[in-house]
Structure 1
Amino acid sequence: MSTYENYVAQFGQFKKIDAFAYLDYLKSHQDEPRKHGKVVLVTADTPLKASRGEGKTTTSIALIDALRSRGIDAAAVLRQPSMGITAAGSKGGASGGGKASLTHPELVDWGLCGEMAAIAAAQNLLVSFAEKAIDDGSLDTIAVPRVSETPSRSLRRIRVDEGKNDVSERVVLTPTCELMQIVVLSRSMQEIGTRVSDMVAGEKDGKPVRFGEFIDLWRITNILTEAVKPAYTETMQGSPVYVHCGPFANVSIGIPSLVSVELACARHDVVIVEAGYGTDAGAQKWLDIAAREYGAQWPSAAIVVTRASTWRDNPDLRWRYPFHVHRLESLGIPAFPLINLWDGEDGQIPDLRRQASELEFREPIMGNLFRDGGEALVNQLDGFVEALRGDGASAVPETHKGMDILEDVRWIADSAYGVPAERVVMRDGFSESLEAACALCRSLGHDLNDYAVVAVKSPATMTDDDTAPEGSRSVTLKKVEVHAGAGLVQVNLTSSLTTPMPKIV
């Protein structure tokens, strides 16, 4: 048995990998054989409808199948989907489709990797501890929300009436919660415990109270024992796939856990990392949070997925796809446009190639991946493979920690959405929300500007109105929310909901 197999255990029809322990072993045994895989980010155009998606998971699966057929040791790291918001698989879940599918898509789509339920149980237990602290007189208010994987309008704001202890609570989707963010960003169980300890439970006499001040953290970390382990599965063609975590990139960070990517990089030469929604969402957060602030690997290349209908059918929105591709190229990341064709669109290929050439894209990669899987890509990857054999990625940009939060948000709007600083506006109440967040951090002994910024936005738009002329597009800031345990500050902008209702598509 190899050393690696000592850290792998059967979990139903999956395998679970103790990534924390395995990576610790590799750090302490420098002579142990390992790989240093290059990261490729699979991102997408901003979808016309948030409920549809462009096919990132299907692309990720087809891509590793194609690379492996060319003799390259490639693997994918996917996000665990949320069962509720995709209406129990009606959107297609997050396991690909057709020939570009996982061996057990129903298990991934229905949450049987396990971490979603365990994280929900742990976060809701934290809320229960906070309620008990109110009974005991240790808290006056509760700051941390309950979670559910299935959204409900009636639960967005609730009030628990217990006479003198009349407590306001709320419910958000499990993938968006602070505890999920903590699991995504942490490299050890000890770090998770420290971060949970720093989560703000609520207030007492106007001052914030952390969970570490009144609960035993082992109660939470024990619940997460299996949830912190990435699941291992395969494509229908036998290619390796790791699945772990899955916060939405519009209302959270939308990336797989950092340890799942590090694990895959230690095992494979090329690691395809899927980031949520479009380049303005998940890719922005991989680059600006995971890589810049948390030391994740800067991508050696990117695949930017679109559908022909998203890219071309609405003249007012055609600017978005070229913006995404050229932005990644401007960061030194070779960005390969991939057009995921639907049935009946094969005849559009010559026209799509012409338009891609006019836009000065790299040679586009095209195919009906649902129908043909990796076979559609094998002969189109010469330029992509050559880029991977290059001398490496650009240097990771310097940290923004310490930058004024408004300047940071304006920088994100400019670089990720194409909106200059002077057209970033503040809605009534935003300044008060920002000052309250600053006061909270001061009470905790921290500086709000030291937290990484998470833009909470609509998944289907980049600005207040993407159909507006370029010179008048704006971004409106709505409110600020501190996630002290995760080390993040969330800034709501444009039209954003933390508990959107499912779409039946």
Structure 2
Amino acid sequence: MTDFEDYVRPYGLFSKIDAFGYLKDLQEHPDQPRKEGKVILVTADTPLKASRGEGKTTTTIALIDALRARGVDAAAVLRQPSMGITAAGSKGGASGGGKASLTHPELVDWGLCGEMAAIESAQNLLVSFAEKAVDEGRLDTVLVPRVSEVPSRSLRQIAVDRGKGNLSERTVLTPTCELMQIVVLSRSMEEIGQRVAAMVAGTLDGKPVRFGDFIDLWRITGILTDAVKPAYTETLQGSPVYVHCGPFANVSIGIPSLVSVQMACARHDVVIVEAGYGADAGAQKWLDIAAREYGAQWPAAAVVVTRATTWRDDPKLQWRYPFHVNRLESLGIPTFPMINLWEGEDGQAGQLRQTASDLGFRSPIMGNLFRDGGQALEDQLDGLIEALGAPAPADADTVSHHGMDVMDQICWIARSAYGVPGSRVVEKDGFAQSLEQARQLCTQVGVNLEDMTIVAVKSPATMTDDDTAPEDQRTVTLKKVEPHVGAGLLQVNLTTSLTTPMPKIV
């Protein structure tokens, strides 16, 4: 008999769950009772400013509290936020707020769930092994970057003085690194080990060398023993919440670990999954990476969060929110607009509902969730609950894009997620060379570039090069590509805006 409690261990003020072990036990004992929870994807409007959240986590927490008050067995899966880029919490953290908050938000916002620090240590140890390999003549360049939780422009490109010539290195944010992506996508420790072994450490005489060629992988997987376990906590109202991995959908995949969602779906009827930044980032990556390529659940419904002011008050950007809602609806996903009211905006509710009606939206869900929590939503969820009971669309486009030409894949994302046709996808000088170098590297390690999954790396605050341009003039510029062979991902930098602006101190 599979007992979930056997896989739960105390971890400070909350618990850690051996999701790998629990899911393996369920797989080995298919006769044991388990649920087939449906996923609600919570995403958002593209924010006007990169350092500002729209309220996805607050909405997620309020939703599970409201659903449970309605008698629905609901849970949420949140991403472990990055401490550094929020400027010590000025963005609002990632634990909700007010009455729609977790019991110990500081443990989430300050990275004390543990996986960020462990993944940072593990990837930096990999770089140290690569540096040692240079000293031993096994490598002459290091390609894997160091990582840090705290952003620093001065460390993005560095030169290490080795006394006999400089060694070029760089530092990226922990959530964006290949090892984080591997943990998010893997379903066993064995898979993590295989993927780490496949990571390209650097080159020797122009040929790529993988980590599996010269290190013992137990050194890395041992560090990750607790990092692979989702944290288990609660909302202030006692609703279950799992927290694991995956922020920054603009510069990485930005989704919780697949095992945390799979585990939650085995235990609950409804699982609310939070995806990073706007629908052009987090929702795009849940659908096109997690679901399409890695077998995660296709959402039974979606909620797109916005603020009243963001939705209406910038005429040149008003097109973005309806684009997101209509795109998800076009994929057969019942999509509900969620308007996150701030103090003093209650009187706008009638006008906002009329605007939603004029746009052809479903009846919007709205409330001051910081002030009122889930109580604000309890009587507004009839449509959402009804949608969850409907059968999944038989024609959902979930066919893998593996094998599709890379440029065709990129143009498909630009058209479907940003509304820009392939004829207006522009290549910056050097992009073609970058793509060819990636192709050569993959060929040398026996990987087909077309079988890798595209990860769009872009500004969190824009969908195109200039979102204020008229629709028929919007473009998407391709800048460079970077293969993450161990993760099976091909990162493609696009749009002319900054991908990771420094946080604003407020």
Q: Is the 8 A contact 2:50 2:501 kept in 1?
A: no
CA distance in 1, matches of 2:500, 2:151: 6
Write the deviation string for residues 222-262 of structure 1: whole angstroms up to 9, x where unpaired.
00000000000000000000000023100000000000000
The aligned amino acid for 1:186 is S
CA distance in 2, matches of 1:367, 1:168: 51
Match of 2:155 in 1: 155
The aligned amino acid for 2:291 is A
How many Å apart are 1:210 and its aligned residue? Answer: 0.2
Match of 1:474 in 2: 475
CA distance in 2, matches of 1:366, 1:418: 27
The aligned amino acid for 2:464 is T
Match of 2:297 in 1: 297
The aligned amino acid for 1:447 is N
Any idea what SS the aligned residue of 1:349 has? helix
TM-score, normalised to structure 1's length?
0.99
CA distance in 1, matches of 2:206, 2:268: 51
Match of 1:404 in 2: 405
Match of 1:385 in 2: 385
Size of the aligned set, in residue pairs, is: 505
The aligned amino acid for 1:271 is V
Match of 2:33 in 1: 33
How many Å apart are 1:61 and its aligned residue? Answer: 0.1
CA distance in 2, matches of 1:247, 1:334: 25
Match of 1:199 in 2: 199
Match of 2:438 in 1: 437
1:47 aligns with 2:47: yes
Q: Which moved more, 1:284-293 or 1:489-498?
A: 489-498
CA distance in 1, matches of 2:397, 2:69: 31
TM alignment of 1:269-308, pairs within 5 A: 269-308=269-308
CA distance in 2, matches of 1:393, 1:230: 31
Match of 1:141 in 2: 141
1:88 aligns with 2:65: no
Write the deviation string for residues 76-100 of structure 1: whole angstroms up to 9, x where unpaired.
0000000000011121110000000
CA distance in 2, matches of 1:481, 1:354: 46
Q: Is the 8 A contact 2:340 2:366 kept in 1?
A: yes
Match of 1:446 in 2: 447
Q: Is the 8 A contact 1:79 1:246 kept in 2?
A: yes
CA distance in 1, matches of 2:405, 2:30: 40
Any idea what SS the aligned residue of 2:242 has? strand
CA distance in 2, matches of 1:455, 1:136: 36
Any idea what SS the aligned residue of 2:403 has? coil
The verdict on how the C-alpha distance between 1:2 and 1:451 changes in structure 2, with shifts beyond 3 A counting, is: closer
Match of 1:19 in 2: 19
Q: Is the 8 A contact 2:460 2:499 kept in 1?
A: no
The verdict on how the C-alpha distance between 1:42 and 1:374 changes in structure 2, with shifts beyond 3 A counting, is: same
The aligned amino acid for 1:353 is R
Match of 2:457 in 1: 456
1:113 aligns with 2:113: yes
TM alignment of 1:301-380, pairs within 5 A: 301-380=301-380
How many Å apart are 1:164 and its aligned residue? Answer: 2.3
Write the deviation string for residues 404-445 of structure 1: whole angstroms up to 9, x where unpaired.
111100000000000011000000110110110011111111
How many Å apart are 1:496 and its aligned residue? Answer: 5.4
CA distance in 2, matches of 1:299, 1:457: 24
Q: Is the 8 A contact 2:186 2:258 kept in 1?
A: yes
Any idea what SS the aligned residue of 1:303 has? strand
Any idea what SS the aligned residue of 2:493 has? strand
Q: Is the 8 A contact 1:232 1:242 kept in 2?
A: yes
Any idea what SS the aligned residue of 2:370 has? helix
The aligned amino acid for 1:441 is C
Match of 1:172 in 2: 172
- Gaps in structure 1 of 5+ consecutive residues: none
Match of 1:184 in 2: 184
What RMSD in Å do the two structures reach over aligned CA positions? 1.0
Q: Is the 8 A contact 1:413 1:421 kept in 2?
A: yes
Q: Is the 8 A contact 2:250 2:277 kept in 1?
A: yes
Match of 2:417 in 1: 416
How many Å apart are 1:500 and its aligned residue? Answer: 3.3
TM-score, normalised to structure 2's length?
0.99
CA distance in 2, matches of 1:166, 1:463: 38
1:245 aligns with 2:212: no
The aligned amino acid for 1:175 is P
Match of 2:504 in 1: 503
How many Å apart are 1:31 and its aligned residue? Answer: 1.6
CA distance in 1, matches of 2:447, 2:35: 38
Identity %: 77
CA distance in 1, matches of 2:496, 2:117: 28
Q: Is the 8 A contact 1:176 1:498 kept in 2?
A: no
CA distance in 2, matches of 1:259, 1:97: 26
CA distance in 2, matches of 1:32, 1:263: 14
The aligned amino acid for 1:399 is S
- Gaps in structure 2 of 5+ consecutive residues: none
Q: Is the 8 A contact 1:103 1:234 kept in 2?
A: yes
Match of 2:130 in 1: 130
How many Å apart are 1:402 and its aligned residue? Answer: 0.7
CA distance in 2, matches of 1:193, 1:393: 37
The verdict on how the C-alpha distance between 1:499 and 1:172 changes in structure 2, with shifts beyond 3 A counting, is: farther
Q: Is the 8 A contact 2:325 2:335 kept in 1?
A: yes
1:256 aligns with 2:256: yes
The verdict on how the C-alpha distance between 1:393 and 1:370 changes in structure 2, with shifts beyond 3 A counting, is: farther
How many Å apart are 1:473 and its aligned residue? Answer: 0.3
CA distance in 1, matches of 2:345, 2:2: 47
How many Å apart are 1:396 and its aligned residue? Answer: 4.8
Write the deviation string for residues 467-489 of structure 1: whole angstroms up to 9, x where unpaired.
00001000000000000000000
CA distance in 2, matches of 1:136, 1:5: 48
CA distance in 2, matches of 1:27, 1:497: 44
Any idea what SS the aligned residue of 2:129 has? helix
CA distance in 2, matches of 1:396, 1:274: 21
The aligned amino acid for 1:108 is V
Write the deviation string for residues 343-382 of structure 1: whole angstroms up to 9, x where unpaired.
1111111111111011000001110000100000000000
CA distance in 2, matches of 1:58, 1:296: 24
Write the deviation string for residues 272-327 of structure 1: whole angstroms up to 9, x where unpaired.
00000000001000000000000000000000000011111100000000000000
Q: Is the 8 A contact 1:299 1:393 kept in 2?
A: no
Write the deviation string for residues 3-57 of structure 1: whole angstroms up to 9, x where unpaired.
1111000000110000000000001111211111000100000000111111000
How many Å apart are 1:268 and its aligned residue? Answer: 0.3
